[in-house]
Amino acid sequence: AANRKFHTDDTVIRIGRGAFGGGHFGVIAGPCSIESNEQIIEVAMKVKEAGASFLRGGAFKPRTSPYSFQGLRDDGIRMLLEAKKASGLPIVTEIMSLAHYDLFADVDIIQVGARNMQNFEMLKELGKCDKPILLKRGLSSTIEELLMSAEYIMSSGNTQIILCERGIRTFETATRNTLDISAIPLLKKLTHLPVIVDPSHATGIASLVPPLAKAAVVSGADGLMIEVHSHPAAALCDGAQSITPAQFASLMQSVSALAEIE
Ligand code: PEP
Ligand code: MN
């Protein structure tokens, strides 16, 4: 069970040299979407050099409009695997349907996005796999609902779950979402699972990413997920919230003064 009552020691999730939980701090970085071989390899090398532990990139994108870029799908996964090989970084990418599950064979961490946090049948199936699951908080989901979704995965056997606070919907429209900082210490109290923060989707604004990333670290987060793009203005998705590799490198310097990144 996800509840601390039944399991007081922190769950540690380790892949290669990266780890989350139990005092281990991991950083996942990369573009919102995989756009080309060159794009993903370039950003992979740069975030690795800056000290990231994991590479992210979306191949299946949950866009609000069906007419927006939907991701490169199978081709995107293939490009991400090449970037994994070139950089040596383990990879994280989002699954949107179990019909695509076979494409995720060499993916290191499977992401369940905010929009699928309550796709219970998918959670039950992912509970049968032996890969860590990055479970993002739903757009309007409570802490209790997030924990119950983790419980769905655990109930079929998979206890390797990383929770991600990525901002929630509030009355405020100046930011894309509102980062629920209180969720971090609260979740850490309620569950032994690692808790990471995604300040990129929480704010939608690149300049707000570094200060909120630092706030997440000092609030007790076990890691970060940051969108990084070499040319944010030209990004096919989420350019406004993407920081450049240089900005990411500078953020990593501040973060490493606050936490030991693995
Ligand atoms: C993402 O991380 O690519 C993403 C779509 O985030 P979320 O599910 O939190 O909106
Ligand atoms: Mn995004």
Distance, in Å, from the CA atom of 69 to the CA atom of 253, rounded to the nearest integer, reads 33
Q: Return the best residue to mutate from 110, 134, 163, 166 for the ligand 1 pocket (most ligand atoms within 8 A of CB).
A: 166
Predicted pLDDT of residue 129? 96
Distance, in Å, from the CA atom of 171 to the CA atom of 43, rounded to the nearest integer, reads 35
Strands 26-30 and 54-56: parallel
Predicted pLDDT of residue 56? 98
The count of domains in the chain is: 1
Ligand closest to Cα of 242 equals 2
Q: Which domain holds residue 142?
A: 4-258
Predicted pLDDT of residue 142? 98
Instruction: List, in order, residues 6 or more apart from 105 with CB less than 8 Å away.
Output: none
Distance, in Å, from the CA atom of 37 to the CA atom of 78, rounded to the nearest integer, reads 9
Distance, in Å, from the CA atom of 239 to the CA atom of 206, rounded to the nearest integer, reads 8
Ligand closest to Cα of 57 equals 1
ipTM: 0.99
Predicted pLDDT of residue 130? 96
Residue 137 CA: which ligand 1 atom is closest?
Answer: 9
Predicted pLDDT of residue 230? 98
Q: How far is the CA of 62 from the centre of ligand 1 (A)?
A: 8
Q: Which CATH number goes with the domain that contains 148? A: 3.20.20.70
Question: pLDDT-based confidence at 107, cuts 50/70/90?
Answer: very high
Ligand 1 contact via 202 beta carbon (within 6 Å): no
What is the average pLDDT across 38-63?
Answer: 98
Predicted pLDDT of residue 30? 98
Ligand 1 contact via 229 beta carbon (within 6 Å): no
- The predicted-structure confidence for 109-160, as pLDDT tens digits, reads as follows 999 999 999 999 999 999 999 999 999 999 999 999 999 999 999 999 999 9
Question: pLDDT-based confidence at 69, cuts 50/70/90?
Answer: very high
Q: How far is the CA of 199 from the centre of ligand 1 (A)?
A: 11
Cα four-point dihedral sign 48, 109, 179, 186 = negative
- The predicted-structure confidence for 212-237, as pLDDT tens digits, reads as follows 999 999 999 999 999 999 999 999 99
